[in-house]
Amino acid sequence: MDMVLSFWWVIVIILILIANKLVLRLFGVVMVPEDSLGVVNKKWVLLGKNKTLPDGAIIALKGEAGLQADTLAPGIHFWLWPWQYEVRLEKFITVERNQIATVEARDGKPLSGGRVLARTVDCTSFQDARAFIENGGERGPQISIIPPGTYRINTALFTVYTEDVVEIPDNMVGVVTTKDGKPLPTGEIAGKEIPGHNMYQDPETFITNGGYKGLQEQVILAGRYFLNPKFATVEQKPMTDVPIANVGVVIAYVGDEGKDVTGDTFKHGNLVSKTQKGVWIEPLDPGKYPINPYTHKVEIVPTANVVLNWATNKTEAHKLDEKLSTITVRSFDGFTFNLDVSQIIHIPRNDAPKVIARFGNMPNLVTQVLEPTIGNYFRNAAQRSDVIDFLKKRSERQSEAKASISEALVDYNVNAVDTLIGDITPPNELMKTLTDRKIAEQEKITYDTQRLAEETRKELQQAKAMADTQANVVSIERTVQINEFAAQAAIKKAEGEAKSKTINAEADATVLKIVGAAEGDKIKAVGTAEADVITLKIKSMQSSNYAAIEVSKNLAGSSNKWVPDIIAGGSSDSGGSIMNVLLGMMVHDKVIKDSVKSDVEKSDES
């Protein structure tokens, strides 16, 4: 029973001691939490030969007084009396997933061989300080890094800095500049590609295999990299993009000395093979390329037709003509006028490196060749003609310009597709004259048009009037036709009646002829009989007396007044003779007239 009670008292005391760290510390007990470690500083050494650290040392490896290489792991540690040992609790170092940690050592061997960063040693990611020093670790910034994770690192020896990992996005490249390695040879601007260093994530291998410090030719591609920023810095650059209808001519500033591969046919620059220093003879086709812009320059050369405008404030998307302006020329007759010109050129794919080797880039081609060639041609052409002739023969000038400029550009490996003359701006005074003349011509045309319009309107009115009277005309024409038909009917009727009358007349004439013949025969018979009687009478008296008697009978039977009421003068004898003669003449005339009248009336009736 007493033993059990004693045991419980021991437990209570221990619990009290645990609860009171200060009390524990007085008894040399140190409790290290599970997320921490204890960094020990030994204040003094009472016994032994290793009492003090060697010269220049900071970390004690053999129990010397000072900061100890070994740390206290999580748990309870005894015999660490507070008057001899100072224990500092430090949290574990945690490196997050998107980070790395760089380390700087406060103790170790000095850096040697011109190194900027300490060599890599086996020390379990700097968690074994003793192994670091014993294996020849060097003081200063370390070339090795600590990847993401949690580490027990002696902060008395190592200072740890967290850094973000290097992340290269898509369509970008990382241009690397290293801070350690061999110096670059004279004349070189970047280090050659070194194998085996896992995209600069193994700096020790990079240096061991002969890597150079400074700008590196090799770039890193899209991805995440554990790069020690004390060893290498990374600058992100876009990938080289060669658009469709273009090629990329590579100008290499690094590589072996290039040997010209064009021979004697091209004397305006050297073209070299790929990987050599100089202008590569083989251009890059459309696509994206991971090229270091500091070691290789890619000049984009359009292989489609390119339009260049010599016109103020008119620029194409390629911007090659942004410095070109309207061409000012002087004509043969002394006038100065402005001229807009568009030149279409084409550079064949295989000739693109030759153009770059000669001029360096496309803007130089424009300023050194195209601008003076085209400008001078049109200035010369303008001086051979007056302004009016230049305006009138625009198409001819354009054809001549195309032929001449095409011939001139062949020597520069450029094809001239077409030359187009744009706006021509003659002098204002000349334009006013031409404008006035044109206005007069247009006014004449306007007046002629108006005259024709009036004539057309007149014809329209006439046609309209004729259309309005067409009904009456048709009615009248129909009336005329009806009248013609009626007249023809009347004529036919008359002809019929005439034929009828003719037939009747002929019949009547025949009757009359027969009757007349009968009457004639009758009268002849009667006359013959009467003549016989008269003959007998005459024979019984004188013929003159008979005649006078017959005349007197006829006169007496007539209603005419043949004898005046009063007869003046004359003897009865002579008067009787005269009277007889007059009476005879008058009777003769009367008989003749009556006979003629009777014949006329009969003829009319027929």
| pLDDT tens figures, 399-413 | 999 999 999 999 899
Instruction: Read off the tokens for 580.
Output: 């007889």
Q: How far is CA 265 from CA 5, 262, 357, 519, in A?
A: 112, 6, 14, 149
pLDDT at 546 (0 to 100): 52
Instruction: Read off the tokens for 474.
Output: 């048709």
Instruction: Read off the tokens for 116.
Output: 């900027």
> Which residue has better confidence, 455 or 293?
293
Residues 592 and 547 occupy one common structural domain: yes
- Of 366, 399, 426, which residue is a domain's last? 426
In angstroms, the CA 168 to CA 173 distance is: 7
> What size, in residues, is the chain?
606
Helix (H, G, I), strand (E, B) or coil at 93: strand
Contact 357, 364 (CB under 8 A): no
Q: Of 27-36, 234-243, 447-456, give the lowest mean pLDDT range.
A: 447-456
pLDDT above 70 covers a percentage of the chain that reads 77
Residues 472 and 346 occupy one common structural domain: no
For residue 348, give its domain range. 301-426
Residues 378 and 398 occupy one common structural domain: yes
Count of domains for the chain = 5
Q: How far is CA 397 from CA 52, 206, 515, in A?
A: 101, 66, 117
Residues 35 and 148 occupy one common structural domain: yes
- Of 366, 401, 426, which residue is a domain's last? 426
pLDDT at 145 (0 to 100): 96
Residues 411 and 451 occupy one common structural domain: no
**63, HSE (Cβ side, Cα atoms, 13 Å):** 7
Contact 279, 271 (CB under 8 A): yes
> Which residue has better confidence, 387 or 598?
387
Identify the band that residue 574 occupies on the pLDDT scale cut at 50, 70 and 90: very low
In angstroms, the CA 412 to CA 357 distance is: 11
Mean pLDDT along residues 305-329? 91
Give the domain CATH number at 364. Answer: 3.30.479.30
Candidates 154, 18, 36; CA nearest to 89 is 36
Residues 421 and 434 occupy one common structural domain: no
Residue 537 lies in a domain: no
CA angle 429, 431, 433 (to 5 degrees): 75
Helices of type H across 360-425: 362-365, 371-383, 387-392, 394-409
- Of 142, 163, 184, which residue is a domain's last? 163
Phi/psi of residue 429, nearest 5 degrees = -65, -40
Identify the band that residue 189 occupies on the pLDDT scale cut at 50, 70 and 90: very high
Residues 434 and 501 occupy one common structural domain: yes
Buried b (16+ CB within 10 A) or exposed e, 367-401: eebbbebbbebbeebbeebebeebbeeeeebeeeb
pLDDT at 166 (0 to 100): 96
Buried b (16+ CB within 10 A) or exposed e, 571-600: eeeeeeeeeeeebeeebeeeeeeeeeeeee
572: pLDDT strictly greater than 50 = no
Residue 126 lies in a domain: yes
Residues 438 and 415 occupy one common structural domain: no
pLDDT at 571 (0 to 100): 43
569: pLDDT strictly greater than 80 = no
pLDDT by residue (tens digit) across 537-557?
Answer: 555 544 445 555 565 565 555
pLDDT at 286 (0 to 100): 97
pLDDT at 337 (0 to 100): 87
Residue 60 lies in a domain: yes
pLDDT above 90 covers a percentage of the chain that reads 52
> Which residue has better confidence, 567 or 292?
292
Residue 147 lies in a domain: yes
- β-strands 66-72, 59-60: how paired? parallel
Q: Report, in this order, helix, strand and coil percent for the chain, each rounded to 5.
A: 45, 25, 35
pLDDT at 435 (0 to 100): 75
pLDDT at 96 (0 to 100): 95
pLDDT at 372 (0 to 100): 93
Residues 399 and 488 occupy one common structural domain: no
Residue 42 lies in a domain: yes
Residue 72 lies in a domain: yes
Per-chain mean pLDDT for the chain: 83
Residues 492 and 510 occupy one common structural domain: yes
88: pLDDT strictly greater than 80 = yes
Mean pLDDT along residues 572-588? 50
Mean pLDDT along residues 42-56? 80
Helix (H, G, I), strand (E, B) or coil at 249: strand
pLDDT by residue (tens digit) across 148-172?
Answer: 999 999 999 999 999 999 999 999 9
Q: Is 463 exposed, middle or buried (0-12, 13-18, 19+ CB in 10 A)?
A: exposed
Identify the band that residue 460 occupies on the pLDDT scale cut at 50, 70 and 90: confident
pLDDT at 351 (0 to 100): 93
pLDDT by residue (tens digit) across 422-435?
Answer: 888 877 777 677 77
Residues 417 and 343 occupy one common structural domain: yes
Identify the band that residue 575 occupies on the pLDDT scale cut at 50, 70 and 90: very low
Residues 132 and 55 occupy one common structural domain: yes
203: pLDDT strictly greater than 50 = yes
Q: Of 296-310, 488-502, 581-595, give the lowest mean pLDDT range.
A: 581-595
Residue 293 lies in a domain: no
pLDDT at 13 (0 to 100): 62
pLDDT at 346 (0 to 100): 96
Residue 249 lies in a domain: no
